[in-house]
Amino acid sequence: MSGAREEVLARLRAARDAGAPRGGVPPVPRGYHRSGSLAPGSAQVLDLLVERVEDYRARVLRAGSDDEVAGAVARCLDEAGSRRVVVPADLAPGWRPRTGEREVVEEHPGSPLAVAELDDLDAVVTGSTVAIALTGTIVLAGGGPGQGRRALTLVPDHHVCVVRAADVVETVPEALARLDPSVPLTFVSGPSATSDIELDRVEGVHGPRRLDVVVLR
Amino acid sequence: MKIAVMATCLGDAMFPQAVKATVRLLHRLGHEVVFPEGQTCCGQMHVNTGYLREAVPLVRHHVEVFEPVADGGWDAVVAPSGSCTGCVRHQHAVVARRAGDEVLAERAEAVAARTYELSELLVDVLGVTDVGAHYPHRVTYHPTCHSLRMLRVADKPLRLLRAVRGLELVELPDAEVCCGFGGTFAVKNGETSTAMLADKMRNVLGTRAEVCTAGDSSCLMHIGGGLGRLRTGVRTVHLAEILASTEAGRTPAAAGTPGGVRDEPVEAQR
Amino acid sequence: MSTTDLGMPAVRGGARDGSRDTGLPTHSVAGQGNLRGTTSFPRAAHEKLADTQLRRNLGKATGIIRGKRAGVVAELDDWEELRLAGSALKADVMARLPELLEQLEENVTARGGHVHWARDAAEANAVVAELVRATGSDEVVKVKSMATQETGLNEALAEQGITAWETDLAELIVQLGHDAPSHILVPAIHRNRSEIREIFLREMPGVDPALSDDPRELAMAARAHLRRKFLTAKVAVSGANFAVADTGTLCVVESEGNGRMCLTLPGTLITLMGVEKLVPTFSDLEVFLQLLPRSSTGERMNPYTSTWTGVTPGDGPQEFHLVLLDNGRSAVLADEDGRAALHCIRCSACLNVCPVYERVGGHAYGSVYPGPIGAVLSPMLTGISGPDDPNASLPYASSLCGACFDACPVRIDIPNLLVQQRAASVESHPRPTAQDLALRAAALVMSSPGRFAAAEKGLALGRLLAGREGRISSLPWPLSHWTDSRDVPAPPAETARQWWARTGGHDEQDGERS
């Protein structure tokens, strides 16, 4: 295989020089917005996030305190009929649903649930790392606080995700600047969807079919 | 201003009425017009069919004929064609450079810098949108691809048309979609071209306009050729002909190519 | 490795055909993969244009997606600046491609991944098959990937007794329908809901016979069909939308969650990507993650974007292999203008705005890369072997209307590349064709005013042909392709040149009417 490596690199080096632009390569113009006009965590940026997330037909609830988060999470779970719930072990205790009849399973990094076990659960409750208001996107960092590993937010059919105001930025560049590329990242914009049949959008395919977002001011 | 007319090969040989209308219009606006007699063809067909090497002598000839505009002999060159202007402006230097002739490329760029499509010349250079025309007909405008996306003439032709007395302008649905002409495309991929033409004709007919106009005789030949084959009764008229028409003048309804055909039998014109 | 380049002429830019190790830019190997169809574009189009259902399906779908794209692009007041940045970033990548690939390799390896290189489609397929075999698995789940379509990976795996399960809904429809993809983003765009229902009823084991043609029901049938596969698969194969040189991060952009399933649950992940899919730094994704979804699905952001860097203990696959594919890309890179085709981020916006694509669909292009970008990229990757090469006809499958350039998020000047590839097509002729002779003669006539004026005298013949009606409705081949559906006006009695000579431009009376 090293033969292939050397050959491909040799071809590309020759091609790089043969096709080099006569005028050189100009510097990258960065005239696009690298930051937004709305301050991170501001009321306006939260409003924009809510509007854009709802546009994907995800549900958004607002909370003013950890207690209200716990209440909102419980409401989301109840309305969906999600009784068996998994949470990453480090999910903020205050965000866990305290009311209603349900089984809450904790996943610890050292003892992951089998995929089949995850598949038996109805819902997952997590935190998030960053949210992008302009695009209605929530970013989960694998192993990040209260976010668990990737499979946790993928296999259960219902994802309840808590977004803290301070983590909400307006634009994509602001979000990327806050992210650590060395951990696995998942950018979530609404529930899973497909437009593969006549470009007719259907929400809910393989990923969680229901996404509820609780925004904590 | 002293303005040289670039008739284009198609305009010269097949659609002289658009060239004559351009001359008449510029005279009426008080400009001096010259017709460089050595002119032939800009080479667009060769370039766009992939004959870039063969196009070099055509580019060289064009540059030689129209070079007075770069030397101050004339103030501008005008062509009643978006695609030929586009070829001069965006392809001549490329063709010359590809052939390794940097000198020709720079001469071509100098000529191109003062070569304009008719609506550009009128609106941008001469600063007029009301040219004093009168044309009492229901008209729809097809923005040809190269005027729209190569030259970016935007709404200049529409602004000129809106100022024409008596003209009822109706919007063409899906106006910005190609009519399917594309030069040799219409022959090499005749069936696909026809499928595109069918949709363009459907949209033209839907406007109930009596005239379809555009800034390119080539696209009008295509649209008009289809409208004529189906005997739709809609005629195609070059933008220059509409702008040249006046109440006093004698052009109005007679101008143009009704359904791809002249409005009078050829013999009757003798 | 077999060499099949006998008799193939070397092509402009110094690119070679075949797979000999010359260390020079090399086209893809003839007969491998899916970059070349079997018939010329006009012949394929002839058949497709007659398919009225196809026309309806394509017209409806491209119309919807054009509208969505236009809406979300108009929302951003810095769209043009993003396009300029995207274009410049890709130009920078091309200028440093070997160095950036080595940087990528180093970073992926440092994070526990394995990097493999493939000269051509067959080698890429062999590498993947070997990696799968080493896991002991006889099946893989697949994320939609143009690179694996390009190399024909599924067929190659099948020959080795390995079953590939396509998990993207459109790819699944194509696979179950024993069909070929016809669009970069929506491979089953040529199928409507009732056709898809029929395919599912016929091919999907255990499907509910009462399945309706409601897209939601059809999507749920696909979910049920694939769920067990996702949860039990040992090996996944993916492509990549972007690879970040300075961090070794890979990025996959998707909608359904099938990508996340494949990238997360199996123990082994094999990613095949073309060498051009690099971006220099992680923060450069800020440009492409804005350009791609808006151009592609017409959304502000696609539902899921996944990034991963090598292997993460306790999260996702613990074996990660990245296969870097040349397969003709070095030949494209060697062409100063042409290398812009490698900037393509496979959004498919150019397909959706192309009036030719909308009427004939993707299959007419023969290659897995259809539409305007395919019409340049396919012949550039394969080279053009002569006038009978089906890919020689692709650069002509465009009216050069320019809509593709306006839609392209990285500003690839596709019309210019089409013209350049037409030139490559002409230059591949071993001896002059009828078209060559005609255009050369025309150039000779048109470069001389004397000869041109003399030729114009021949227009009288046209007037004779036109007769009293003033129209010509039938001309001999090849102009019959025009008169099959369009009249030609009778030539005028007097050319503009003759009118000027007679009047000096001051005769306000129209010569032909006087």
The closest alpha carbon to C144, from C122, C111, C163, C169, belongs to C169
pLDDT at C58 over 70: yes
Q: φ, ψ for residue C453 (rounded to 5)?
A: -65, -40
Is the Cβ pair B266, C471 closer than 8 Å?
Answer: no
CA neighbours within 13 Å on the CB side: how many for C463?
Answer: 19
Q: Is residue A198 part of a domain?
A: yes
Categorize the per-residue pLDDT at C223 as very low, low, confident or very high, splitting at 50, 70 and 90.
very high
Q: What is the pLDDT of residue B253?
A: 42
Interface confidence, given as ipTM, is 0.97
Segments forming the whole domain that contains residue A49: 39-216
Pairing of strands C139-142, C488-489: unpaired
Which residue does chain B place closest to C475, by CA atoms? B187
pLDDT at B267 over 70: no
Q: What is the pLDDT of residue B102?
A: 97
User: What is the mean pLDDT of the segment spanning C451-465?
Assistant: 89
Q: Give pLDDT tens digits for B150-161.
A: 999 999 999 999
pLDDT at A207 over 90: yes
Q: Give pLDDT tens digits for B91-131.
A: 999 999 999 999 999 999 999 999 999 999 999 999 999 99
* Mean pLDDT rounded to a whole number for chain A: 96
Candidate from A1, A177, A207 with C-beta closest to C303: A207
Is the Cβ pair A199, C61 closer than 8 Å?
Answer: yes
Residues from chain A contacting residue C247 (CB–CB below 8 Å) = 181-182
What interhelical angle do C97-110 and A2-18 show, nearest 10? 150
User: What is the mean pLDDT of the segment spanning C21-43?
Assistant: 96
Residues whose CB falls within 8 Å of the CB of residue C197, separated by 6 or more in sequence, listed in order: C211, C212, C213, C218
Residues whose CB falls within 8 Å of the CB of residue C447, separated by 6 or more in sequence, listed in order: B40, B57, B58, B60, B61
Which residue does chain B place closest to C357, by CA atoms? B192
Contact present, C237 and C273 (Cβ < 8 Å)? no
Q: Which residues pair with C271 in a beta bridge?
A: C238, C322
The closest alpha carbon to C240, from C309, C299, C329, belongs to C309
Phi-psi category of A146—alpha, beta or left, where left has phi over 0 and alpha has psi -120 to 50? left
For chain B, percent of residues with pLDDT exceeding 90? 91
Residues whose CB falls within 8 Å of the CB of residue C514, separated by 6 or more in sequence, listed in order: none
How buried is residue A173: exposed, middle or buried, by Cβ count under 10 Å (0-12/13-18/19+)?
buried
User: What is the mean pLDDT of the segment spanning B243-248?
Assistant: 93
CA neighbours within 13 Å on the CB side: how many for B94?
Answer: 20
Domain count, chain A: 1
User: How many angstroms away from the CA of B265 is the closest CA of chain C?
Assistant: 5
Q: Is A130 on the interface with C (CB under 8 A)?
A: no
The closest alpha carbon to C200, from C212, C184, C185, belongs to C212
Is the Cβ pair C493, B257 closer than 8 Å?
Answer: no
Categorize the per-residue pLDDT at C467 as very low, low, confident or very high, splitting at 50, 70 and 90.
confident
Q: Which two tokens stand for residue A96?
A: 């866990």
Q: Which two tokens stand for residue A8?
A: 């491909």
Q: What is the pLDDT of residue A39?
A: 98
pLDDT at A2 over 70: no
Q: Give pLDDT tens digits for C368-386.
A: 999 999 999 999 999 999 9
Q: Is residue A110 part of a domain?
A: yes
Q: Which two tokens stand for residue B159?
A: 């602004």
Q: What is the pLDDT of residue C8?
A: 37
What torsion, rounded to 10 degrees, do the Cα atoms C429, B91, C341, C27 define? Answer: 20
Tokens 């020689």, residue?
C392
pLDDT at B264 over 60: no
Q: Is residue A119 part of a domain?
A: yes
For chain C, percent of residues with pLDDT exceeding 90? 90
Q: φ, ψ for residue B140 (rounded to 5)?
A: -120, 150
Is the Cβ pair C489, B260 closer than 8 Å?
Answer: yes
pLDDT at B255 over 90: no
User: How many angstroms away from the CA of C176 is the closest CA of chain A?
Assistant: 15
Task: Please say whether the dihedral angle defined by the alpha carbons of residues C402, C404, C407 and C412, taken in this order, is positive or negative.
Answer: negative
What torsion, rounded to 10 degrees, do the Cα atoms C475, C479, C481, C482 define? Answer: -80
Candidate from C88, C170, C226 with C-beta closest to A28: C88
How buried is residue B7: exposed, middle or buried, by Cβ count under 10 Å (0-12/13-18/19+)?
buried
How buried is residue C52: exposed, middle or buried, by Cβ count under 10 Å (0-12/13-18/19+)?
exposed
Which residue does chain C place closest to B244, by CA atoms? C508
Residues whose CB falls within 8 Å of the CB of residue C329, separated by 6 or more in sequence, listed in order: A12, C274, C275, C276, C342, C381
Q: What is the pLDDT of residue C13?
A: 46
Q: Give pLDDT tens digits for C140-149.
A: 999 999 999 9
Contact present, C443 and B57 (Cβ < 8 Å)? yes
Q: What is the pLDDT of residue C19?
A: 57
Contact present, A89 and A172 (Cβ < 8 Å)? no
> What domains does chain C contain, in order, with CATH numbers?
97-329 (3.40.50.10420), 449-513 (no CATH)
Q: Give pLDDT tens digits for C45-55.
A: 999 999 999 99
Residues whose CB falls within 8 Å of the CB of residue C331, separated by 6 or more in sequence, listed in order: A15, C11, C13, C15, C16, C25, C26, C27, C380, C381, C383
Q: Number of CB pairs < 8 Å for A and C?
A: 286
Residues whose CB falls within 8 Å of the CB of residue C248, separated by 6 or more in sequence, listed in order: C104, C106, C107, C108, C109, C110, C111, C113, C309, C310
Mutation target among B62, B236, B262 for the C interface, most CBs of C within 10 A: B262
Spatial distance between the Cα atoms of C381 and C375, rounded to a whole number of angstroms = 11
Q: Which residues pair with B263 in a beta bridge?
A: none
- Checking C479-485 for CB contacts under 8 A at 24+ apart, the result is C479/B187, C481/B186, C481/B187, C481/B188, C481/B190, C482/B186, C482/B187, C482/B190, C482/B225, C484/B190, C484/B194, C485/B190, C485/B194, C485/B197, C485/B226, C485/B229
pLDDT at A100 over 80: no
Tokens 């189009």, residue?
C45
Q: Is B91 on the interface with C (CB under 8 A)?
A: yes
Task: Please say whether the dihedral angle defined by the alpha carbons of residues A197, A198, A199 and A200, taken in this order, is positive or negative.
Answer: negative
Contact present, C391 and C366 (Cβ < 8 Å)? yes
Q: Is residue A94 part of a domain?
A: yes
Angle at C391 between CA B191 and CA A20, to 5 degrees: 125
Spatial distance between the Cα atoms of A68 and A47, rounded to a whole number of angstroms = 18
User: What is the mean pLDDT of the segment spanning B246-270?
Assistant: 47
Q: What is the pLDDT of residue C460?
A: 87
Q: Is A41 on the interface with C (CB under 8 A)?
A: no
User: How close are the terminal C-alpha atoms of chain B, in Å?
Assistant: 36
User: What is the mean pLDDT of the segment spanning C467-490?
Assistant: 91
pLDDT at C2 over 70: no
Q: Which residues pair with C243 in a beta bridge?
A: C250, C278
Residues whose CB falls within 8 Å of the CB of residue C87, separated by 6 or more in sequence, listed in order: C343, C410, C411, C412
Which residue does chain C place closest to A174, by CA atoms? C286
| CATH number for the domain that contains residue A127 | 3.40.50.10420
Q: Give pLDDT tens digits for C302-332.
A: 999 999 999 999 999 999 999 999 999 999 9
> What domains does chain B contain, in order, with CATH numbers?
2-125 (no CATH), 138-264 (3.40.50)
Candidate from C15, C173, C309 with C-beta closest to A181: C309
Residues whose CB falls within 8 Å of the CB of residue C132, separated by 6 or more in sequence, listed in order: C140, C157, C160, C162, C235, C237, C270
Phi-psi category of C30—alpha, beta or left, where left has phi over 0 and alpha has psi -120 to 50? beta
Q: Is residue A34 part of a domain?
A: no
Spatial distance between the Cα atoms of B226 and B204, rounded to a whole number of angstroms = 11
Tokens 């499509």, residue?
B117
Q: What is the pLDDT of residue B11?
A: 97
Is the Cβ pair A183, C188 closer than 8 Å?
Answer: no
Q: Is B31 on the interface with C (CB under 8 A)?
A: no
Categorize the per-residue pLDDT at C18 as very low, low, confident or very high, splitting at 50, 70 and 90.
low
Contact present, B168 and B138 (Cβ < 8 Å)? yes
Which H helix or E strand runs over A126? strand A123-126
Is the Cβ pair B54, C440 closer than 8 Å?
Answer: yes
pLDDT at C5 over 60: no
Q: Which two tokens stand for residue B263?
A: 């409005």
Residues whose CB falls within 8 Å of the CB of residue B38, separated by 6 or more in sequence, listed in order: B61, B64, B65, C449
Q: Give pLDDT tens digits for A105-115.
A: 999 999 999 99
pLDDT at A32 over 50: yes
Task: Please say whether the dihedral angle defined by the alpha carbons of residues B35, B36, B42 and B43, taken in this order, is positive or negative.
Answer: positive
Q: Which two tokens stand for residue C224?
A: 């049920």
Number of H helices, E strands in chain A: 5, 12
Categorize the per-residue pLDDT at A98 as very low, low, confident or very high, splitting at 50, 70 and 90.
confident
Which residue does chain A place closest to C15, by CA atoms? A15
pLDDT at C418 over 50: yes
pLDDT at B269 over 50: no
Is the Cβ pair A206, C324 closer than 8 Å?
Answer: no
Which residue does chain B place closest to C435, by CA atoms? B49
